[in-house]
Amino acid sequence: MVASRVRIAVTAVFLVGLCWTARASAATITAASCQLPAVQAAVNSANNGDTVTIPAGSCTWTSAVAWENKNISLIGAGIGQTVITGDFARMFAIYITNAAAGAFRVSGMTLAGTSNLTNEVFLIYSGGLAAIPSGRWRIDHIHFNYPAGQREGVHVQGVNYGVFDHNTIDWHSGLFMYVQSAMANECGGGGPDLSGAFALQSQLDLGTDKFVFMEDNHFIPHRFDNPLWVFDSTGGGARLVYRHNSGDATQIYNHWTRGCEMAGLVFEIYNNSFTNGGYDQQYPVRLEAGTGVMFSNYSNANGGAPFVYLDDRRAARTSGATAGSPLGECDGTHPFEGNADAAAPGWPCLGQIGRNPYVDKAGFSDTWAALKAGKRQGSAPFYMWNNGTQPTCATGGACTNVIAAWAVPATHIKKTPHPNGEVDYVEGAPMPGYTPYVYPHPLVSGSAAESGGSTSAPAPPTNVRVVGGL
């Protein structure tokens, strides 16, 4: 059965925004069924701005629906209505090779599986594009129902940004959101450059849309001998805004700068509830690199005495610091590190907590070549404030700031000044001049035209007229 096509008449000209291609009309293409061939055929026939709808039903997929450089929406009939089951490598593979792409949306369905996956449910790949796509993607109102087995949830490869919102995640094992900013020509892709050399060219840009956003999601663990890792980053770094989420046993983790790769670069973590459930982890957040802000979060971890773990394994020279690798240990022998503190050899270490990935300032640079030539990263302390053990900490109510950092090694990661006056993190005070990005994200609120929606699940199109079919 051939997919039917419905065209929405457009009666006014309006600004579309970001990378959405302006068109005189946009099509709604209804897949013949929820079966994989029908959905892929509908996606193949879609153009920029079109919406592909998947009807209600329960279907099993044996490979991924895939597309490249299409700014389209793929919308199911709703959670529990469109149910796709698949125990294989991945369900969706989206490739971005054009800087005008990246503004897709997937929404309104249940995705399910029980056995181990070798890769991820979603792959969003722009690792071959030496540019940041102008479009912003959205994945929303999906039930990820994976109570058994191990897999990754959403794997972002390359530097691209979007919003993951209003999803419910039943999860057993494996990283959920995994971001690697490595490009194909960097060491993570087999190239000679440091993984993260391209990502290092970005400014801090706190309070902007230049992040992967996770907001208003709920995580439900199905394994209680480990945390539910809602986020992890390695292989080139990441930029994350994690806000207004909830879940038991959840933890944000960021690997350390190691081998030939940068770790996560910038984080904004606020208005979240990190509850214990059946697993009492000691800390809701562990950052081994990067900078940013963490404020107005609630946690009852560690028996009601939670802390934030800030560490740098290259400085500690333990746990795989890889002395023989291109980056090696932080010991003061590399041109991209400093020897500004006799008590902390190598401080400040490349990519450690409290360093700016890029500073437009004499003596500092963004490129790997410049770092190898002796340029160094500037200071950008990580700020923590208003984090506590009262549930109202996450909702704007009363909050006693009691969640502090455990910093390792204490010689390298300090809230007291090093000899040059710099600190690596700040407790109990807001970051001067910082303003969070608008909440809800414009893609969620509908103020960005390409989002196509609001905080509720997508509704079918109205005021349509049939002008043809395929």
Q: What is the pLDDT of residues 95-138, one digit of tens each?
A: 999 999 999 999 999 999 987 776 799 999 999 998 999 999 99
User: Which is more confidently placed, 225 or 291?
Assistant: 291
Within a domain: 467: no
Mean pLDDT of 391-417: 97
User: Which is more confidently placed, 370 or 448?
Assistant: 370
pLDDT of residue 187: 83
**Residue 417, both tokens:** 């000044």
User: Which is more confidently placed, 26 or 400?
Assistant: 400
Contact present, 306 and 331 (Cβ < 8 Å):
no
Q: What is the pLDDT of residues 393-403, one digit of tens each?
A: 999 999 999 99
Q: What is the pLDDT of residues 377-388, one digit of tens each?
A: 889 999 999 999
Per-residue pLDDT band for 12 (boundaries 50, 70, 90) equals very low
Within a domain: 23: no
Q: How many domains does the chain have?
A: 1
Mean pLDDT of 80-90: 90
Among 9-13, 43-47, 122-126, 178-182, the least confident range? 9-13
The Cα 198–Cα 212 span in angstroms is: 17
pLDDT of residue 344: 96
Within a domain: 464: no
Q: What is the pLDDT of residues 328-356, one digit of tens each?
A: 889 888 898 888 999 999 999 999 999 98
Mean pLDDT of 265-291: 92
455 pLDDT above the threshold of 70? no
Mean pLDDT of 352-368: 67
The Cα 411–Cα 418 span in angstroms is: 9
The Cα 226–Cα 173 span in angstroms is: 9
- Cα 8 to the chain's mean position, in Å? 33
Q: Where are the beta strands (DSSP E) in 370-446?
A: 378-379, 382-385, 404-408, 425-427
Within a domain: 463: no
Contact present, 464 and 28 (Cβ < 8 Å):
yes
Q: What is the pLDDT of residues 242-270, one digit of tens each?
A: 999 999 999 999 988 888 888 899 999 99
Q: What is the pLDDT of residues 30-84, one digit of tens each?
A: 999 999 999 999 999 999 999 999 999 999 999 999 999 999 999 999 999 999 9
The Cα 340–Cα 202 span in angstroms is: 25
pLDDT of residue 168: 98
The Cα 76–Cα 83 span in angstroms is: 9
* pTM recorded for the entire structure: 0.91
Residue 125: domain span: 59-451
Mean pLDDT of 297-306: 93
Contact present, 441 and 209 (Cβ < 8 Å):
yes
Within a domain: 42: no
Within a domain: 461: no
pLDDT of residue 303: 87
Tell me the range of 89-93, 339-343, 443-447 where mean pLDDT is highest.
339-343
The Cα 21–Cα 43 span in angstroms is: 17
Q: How far is CA 78 from CA 6, 49, 56, in A?
A: 20, 21, 8
Within a domain: 29: no
Beta bridge partner(s), residue 285 = 252, 308
pLDDT of residue 122: 97
Average pLDDT, the chain: 86
| % of the chain beyond a pLDDT of 70 | 85
pLDDT of residue 451: 36
Contact present, 43 and 65 (Cβ < 8 Å):
yes
319 pLDDT above the threshold of 80? no
What is the number of alpha carbons within 13 Å of residue 321 lying toward its C-beta? Answer: 16
Among 29-43, 187-201, 305-319, 393-407, the least confident range? 187-201
Within a domain: 265: yes
Contact present, 212 and 150 (Cβ < 8 Å):
no
370 pLDDT above the threshold of 90? no
Q: Using CB atoms within 10 Å of the CB of residue 191, give its burial: 0 to 12 exposed, 13 to 18 middle, 19+ buried.
A: middle
pLDDT of residue 422: 97
